[in-house]
Structure 1
Amino acid sequence: MVNFSAPKAAGLAPWFDITALLLWGALLLKYAITGQLALLIHPNYFGLCVAAGIILLLLGLGKLLQQVRPQVSGGESVQHITLLPQNVGSALLIVVAIAGFLIPPTILSSQTAIQRGLTEELPLTRSQPESFRVGTSPEERTLLDWIRTLNVYPEPDAYTGDPVKVNGFVTHLPQLPDNYMMVSRFVLTCCAVDAYPVGLPVKLEGDRQAFAPDSWVEVTGEMITEDLQLTTEAEGDNNLPQRQLVIQASAVEPIPTPRNPYDY
């Protein structure tokens, strides 16, 4: 009996490859044009992604031209060797690309921040943030400026009474009292997968339930120090309250989610 499935699969293989190349090229350029690339990777890699999208589109169009006009090809096309059955790899790429068009990337949530360990310290294994303005006055410091300052000069009492005005998303740490919340940001070193959260405790006049987790706020107030427990048993052996820099909030105003919600 003649097996027609193999020749048929071989005939479809170029079209699977063409579709995968065109879809992925278009997806990368779509992310760049719409600004969604900022939710996925560090700005240092924007140019690389745009270049990759253009190259993929050109490769896809080149292969398409070879299929439509075989005389353009310099010779018989060579099929690459794969570990997966023929067309399966390209089919998977097509499915993932289509999912990328249908499901937009989302901002990392406060629950992710809690799971990754939200603190006021920069992990020693991480790259240091790129921007740090030493000469700025306290009220002009961003949340990341304050975090970096604390890592360089880790003495909370030295900042008592300093005015503060920062913005970030709300996180409710379960180990904090109900009149405390965290104002938080994610810091990207490469992509969203390795983003790590930083934040400062905010002492409120009322209950933190007035500010929903993941909502963005601008906090105005002054710095105080209090003994708080920011870590959980799963995050370390020392779970005793420690001296922490805290924002005594005089005003907490809701703000729109920024177009680029990450720091670097």
Structure 2
Amino acid sequence: MGTRWLGAGLAAALAVVTLGLAATGRLALYINPDQAWFAVGMAVLALVGAVASFALPLGAEADHGHDHDHVDEHDHDEHDELERAAGRGRPWTIALTATGGLAASAVAVAALVLPPAPLSVELAMARDTGTAPLFAGADDVLLAAADTSTFGVGDWVSVFSSATSPDAYEGTHVTLTGFVTPDDADAATLRLGRLVITHCVIDAQPASLPVASPGWQDDLATGEWVTVDGVVTTDASGALIIEPRDIAPIPAPDDPYEY
């Protein structure tokens, strides 16, 4: 039963979680929506395989296919020696298997009973290295043919970090949503942040844009979600920055990621 649970049982549990998240529209909290078809397809296959495994009698996993009626004495002695060698390491094997099984079971059960939740703002701040996220539209920007009206925070971070002619973007209107974090280099600037996902939450990368807002600490809290309406401009050093017309606090969105 333990072997069956660690194989088909855990696969079935995770398949049910995946299908449940897809049915309730919350699978995007864990993977890029563009990958949902693959995850759902694999979950269906895993569930079908788990159900089909019930056709295999318990204990059949241990049958190695030997024809014991035709095993000669030499082969039998060799088999016994292998069994004794395996038995000497059996306590450690059992302990390691039990530990791994408990850990895997805990993850599967937690996925079944705990509500799905997005990554926290604190985690995004901890991951932020100040560099632009990879694969966030930079190629389109460099081609100078992109429609910037569709850009999110991650796309604009790529523009801000790679633009060779910042003045080309001056005056561009933006309406962006993200969470507030402080700018360590300038107290009069807040950072508008977002987590950008390529495939799943494991590769989530933080992205943040500078927004000129002296005294923002009086009205906004770190981690609060806001919508910024403003224009792209340059600061005294010639670097791109957003000059806001309005910064409106909003509830945290159901889907807090960009993809």
Over 3 Å counting, the alpha-carbon distance change for 1:84 and 1:42 in structure 2 is farther
Over 3 Å counting, the alpha-carbon distance change for 1:49 and 1:161 in structure 2 is closer
Deviations 1:24-60 (A, max 9, x none): 2212212222333212222332222212221222222
Equivalent position to 1:31, from 21, 41, 51: 21
Give the Cα–Cα distance (whole angstroms) in 2 for the partners of residues 211 and 31 of structure 1: 33
Deviations 1:123-170 (A, max 9, x none): 5xx33449958353x666433342333355233344334333222222
Q: Does 1:109 align with 2:120?
A: yes
Give the Cα–Cα distance (whole angstroms) in 2 for the partners of residues 169 and 225 of structure 1: 22
Counterpart for residue 85 of structure 1: 94
Q: Does 1:42 align with 2:42?
A: no
Give the Cα–Cα distance (whole angstroms) in 1 for the partners of residues 124 and 5 of structure 2: 42
CA contact (8 A) 2:227 2:247 kept: yes
Q: CA deviation at 1:201?
A: 1.0
Give the Cα–Cα distance (whole angstroms) in 1 for the partners of residues 63 and 224 of structure 2: 51
The runs of at least 4 consecutive aligned structure 1 residues that moved more than 4 Å come to: 79-84, 130-133, 138-141
Q: Does 1:222 align with 2:212?
A: no
Larger radius of gyration: 2
Q: CA deviation at 1:251?
A: 0.7
Q: Does 1:249 align with 2:257?
A: no
Equivalent position to 1:53, from 43, 51, 70: 43
Give the Cα–Cα distance (whole angstroms) in 1 for the partners of residues 6 and 184 of structure 2: 50
Over 3 Å counting, the alpha-carbon distance change for 1:53 and 1:222 in structure 2 is same
Equivalent position to 1:149, from 156, 159, 162: 159
Equivalent position to 2:53, from 63, 68, 74: 63
Q: Within 5 Å, which residues of 2 pair with 1:184-263?
A: 184-226=193-235, 243-263=238-258
Partner of 2:239, secondary structure, is strand
Counterpart for residue 232 of structure 1: none
Give the Cα–Cα distance (whole angstroms) in 2 for the partners of residues 148 and 157 of structure 1: 15
CA contact (8 A) 1:22 1:60 kept: yes
Over 3 Å counting, the alpha-carbon distance change for 1:200 and 1:21 in structure 2 is closer
Over 3 Å counting, the alpha-carbon distance change for 1:253 and 1:167 in structure 2 is same
Equivalent position to 2:135, from 113, 120, 127: 127
Over 3 Å counting, the alpha-carbon distance change for 1:169 and 1:103 in structure 2 is same
How many pairs are equivalent?
229
Give the Cα–Cα distance (whole angstroms) in 1 for the partners of residues 198 and 149 of structure 2: 26
TM-score by length of 2: 0.71
The percent identity for this pair of structures is 28
Over 3 Å counting, the alpha-carbon distance change for 1:220 and 1:38 in structure 2 is same
Equivalent position to 2:185, from 175, 183, 186: 175
Higher helix proportion (structure 1 or 2): 2
CA contact (8 A) 1:132 1:148 kept: no
CA contact (8 A) 2:136 2:154 kept: no
Give the Cα–Cα distance (whole angstroms) in 1 for the partners of residues 129 and 222 of structure 2: 14
Q: CA deviation at 1:15?
A: 4.8
Q: Gaps spanning 5+ residues in structure 2: where?
A: 65-85
